[in-house]
Amino acid sequence: MTFMPSKANEPVTAQDYKRRLDDIDWAHFQTAYGRADDVPAELLRLASSDHCTAMEATHKLWCGLCHQHAYVSSAALPALPFILEVLDSANDELTVEILDILTGFAICSTLGPKGASPNEWERNLRDKLRNELPRFTVLTSHGNEEIAGFAERIVENLNTYVA
């Protein structure tokens, strides 16, 4: 599998990316389907230069991390930096799918389960997403309508006040 992410315009090796994934104890995090043991493998697939592999990974990550934009899982927090790295070098089609995942993160970190206040990790996720507002704001004027639309939803949700 060939590797595509770059961080801050510096090449990132597949070994470094995998090492950073391995440094996280994913068993301490959850997805919509249980323990997040499969998340690192899906993040590696997301970083693949094989378009079909990366697209398949977006679907599995969307299902597990921000299930139908109705539930965000705790594994979203450690997965976020890896997803953002791939976004930096993604083509338009992959960007749409990644922004769909990030839209789920933004929507679901506004309120916790069943409308309750967000818990600590959800607030942390939201803070990390808010730190990326300049990136998302730029994307609101992207020539691809889907990219611009998802970016607008992200910005709108991140600008919603949460106590």
Model confidence, pTM: 0.89
Sign of the Cα pseudo-torsion (44, 77, 27, 34, in order): negative
CATH number at residue 97: 1.25.10.10
Domain count of the fold of the chain = 1
Its domain, for residue 18, covers: 6-158
Helix locations, 47-162, DSSP H: 51-65, 76-87, 92-108, 120-130, 133-139, 145-158
Indicate whether 11 pLDDT > 60.
no
H helix or E strand, kind and range, residue 9: none
Indicate whether 114 pLDDT > 80.
no
Residue 133 lies in a domain: yes
Residue bearing the bigger pLDDT, 45 or 15: 45
Per-residue model confidence (pLDDT) at position 2? 46
Cα dist from 87 to 38, 70, 94, 106, 153, whole Å: 20, 22, 8, 16, 17
Indicate whether 80 pLDDT > 80.
yes
Per-residue model confidence (pLDDT) at position 37? 96
Residue 163 lies in a domain: no
Per-residue pLDDT band at 91 (split at 50, 70, 90): very high
